[in-house]
Amino acid sequence: MANKILPVKGTREFYPEQMALRNFIYAKVRAAAQGFGYQEYDGPFIEPLDLYAAKSGEELVKKQSFTFEDRGGDFVTLRPELTPSLARMIAAKQGELNFPVRWWSFGPFWRYEQPQKGRSREFFQWNVDMLGVNSPEADAELIAVGATFLRSVGLSPERALIYVNNRRLMDAEFDALGILSEKRLDVSNLVDRRTKMEPAKWDAYALELGLTQSQLDGLKDMLANFELWQKSDELTRLFAALEALGVKEYVQFDPNIMRGLLYYTGTVFEAFDTSGSLKRAIFGGGRYDNLLADVGGNPISGVGFAMGDVVIGIILQEKGLVPEFMPTPADVLVTVFDESLWMKSFELSTQLRNAGIAAMVFPEPAKLPKQFKFADKMKIKIALTIGPDEAANDSVAVKNLGTGEQVTVKREAVVDTVKALMN
RNA sequence: GAGCCUGUAGCUCAAUGGCAGAGCGCUACACUGUGGCUGUAGAUGUUGAGGGUUCGAGACCCUUCAGGCUCCCCA
């Protein structure tokens, strides 16, 4: 135990098995986004603190970001989110981009939070955004990208759902209840906390915020009304589009979904695992109308969502939806019979690689049982051996480790034999 | 930033304040041209770290680190 230096709190080390999961998630988000024609992009990993100070709340900048002074005296921060960078990138090329812009990204982010299940300080996040179109149909497309991802990893609508609400609808309802605009933030917060508080305490908290009893009753009626969406033209169009996009079974209206973000102005949505132990959102997003103005661009409406890799990774593992881990990408193991035949094995491996077959040579002339055991543990399905007999005949012993069958073939037939076994 | 719980072999976990253990895994051999199955034998370790109480601490106390559960927050 010479090395006692531990990883930084809240970071994860990606051993090959964890790396395989990360790459699995990456492959699935990539396929989902690109299937809808989205382009991959990325921003810087460190940004000026001011980029976030402009738009984000005090909580983020002062308490939940990795911020430091660089050697030149500038305050920089490890990016806690991508949207401000996206807004700046869009604003900078506003005149030359071909709108609507459909972009996606998957990269690392940092937030100085208390690590616990489903939350680390260093994580990967999938971001998908469409800018330049303001319509419920565009909102539906983003939700469809998310739903397509859920479907592609085997999370059926019985296991995961996307709950949808609309800020404008809620504002209209708040108006009808006579809840003033300066109380909206408090009331949104109140709605957000409803599932976390006991009903009696929640009622008391509502009255504490200055709601009248009749407003509270009205609010509760509203939050229990799952047909409320029919009053919203936007949501009616949204659900029609979701049906045509083939993902309607994943989506439900829920008036309790608010989302903490201040910049959402229309549709908001959040995906949850409905069958597991983890109560955290899988992904969430919505429509924002005013983001670009803050970084010097002309106002452009956008819609997007983000998904962290931590929660979805736990869910996929708990449900057994992660493909079997393959310890090595090698298709075959070439054994080394003894020292005199070592170079024969190297030559054979080169022949295989030239034919597009991933081949690993055992690193030393060890006992054959040891070499086969190694192949077994590495889950390699094919083992090739050149012993004295094979060397004399210019042939190779090809063993199928799945069935135990072994054949001896001429060197020139090895590639075809191996390829046949791989299928 | 606050509260509570946990930390023992590679893994999962035992051990009234009294010799640190089991299962799985690992290594070797049975088996000197072939893995899985079986049998036999073997190795595990600064009990997260540091300090204290005690004749004696894995256990009790303090500090610290890490993880988990909440609050907060979730951009």
Closest nt to residue A197, judged CA to C1':
B71
Backbone angles phi, psi at A392, to 5 degrees: -65, -30
Closest nt to residue A109, judged CA to C1':
B75
Q: Domain residues of chain A, as ranges? A: 16-43+82-318, 332-422
Residue that is written with structure tokens 């929660």 in the block: A311
Chain B positions with a protein C-beta closer than 7 Å? 1-3, 26-29, 31-36, 46, 65-75
For position A181, what pLDDT does the model report? 78
According to DSSP, residue A401 is labeled T
Residues 20-49 of A with CB under 7 A from strand B: none
Closest nt to residue A389, judged CA to C1':
B33
Other beta carbons within 10 angstroms of residue A348's beta carbon come to 23
Q: How far is the CA of A77 from the C1' of B28 (A)?
A: 54
Cα A122 to Cα A9, A19, A316: the distances in Å are 9, 15, 19
A74 touches strand B (CB under 7 A): no
Residues 214-273 of A with CB under 7 A from strand B: 259-261
Exposure of A291 in the CB half-sphere (CA atoms within 13 A): 31
Closest nt to residue A270, judged CA to C1':
B74
A404 touches strand B (CB under 7 A): yes
CB A311 within 8 A of CB A282: yes
Q: How far is the CA of A374 from the C1' of B43 (A)?
A: 20
- The alpha carbon of A180 is separated from its chain's Cα centroid by a whole number of angstroms, namely 38
Rounded to whole angstroms, the Cα distance separating A417 from A423 reads 10
CB A209 within 8 A of CB A196: no
Q: Which residues pair with A160 in a beta bridge?
A: A273
- Helices and strands (H, E) in chain A, number of each type: 15, 16
CB A412 within 8 A of CB A418: no
Residues 186-225 of A with CB under 7 A from strand B: 189, 192-193, 196
CB A301 within 8 A of CB A288: yes
CB A386 within 8 A of CB A344: yes
A327 touches strand B (CB under 7 A): no
Pick the CATH number of A332-422 from 3.20.20.220, 3.10.20.90, 3.40.50.800, 3.40.50.720: 3.40.50.800
Q: How far is the CA of A225 from the C1' of B50 (A)?
A: 59
Closest nt to residue A306, judged CA to C1':
B75
Q: How far is the CA of A4 from the C1' of B21 (A)?
A: 27
A353 touches strand B (CB under 7 A): no
CATH architecture of A16-43+82-318: 2-Layer Sandwich (3.30)
Q: Per-10-residue mean pLDDT for chain A, 423 residues long? A: 65 88 96 98 93 64 80 91 91 92 96 86 95 95 97 94 93 90 80 79 85 91 93 96 97 86 84 78 89 76 93 88 89 94 96 96 90 91 95 95 93 96 91
Closest nt to residue A375, judged CA to C1':
B35
Rounded to whole angstroms, the Cα distance separating A271 from A280 reads 9
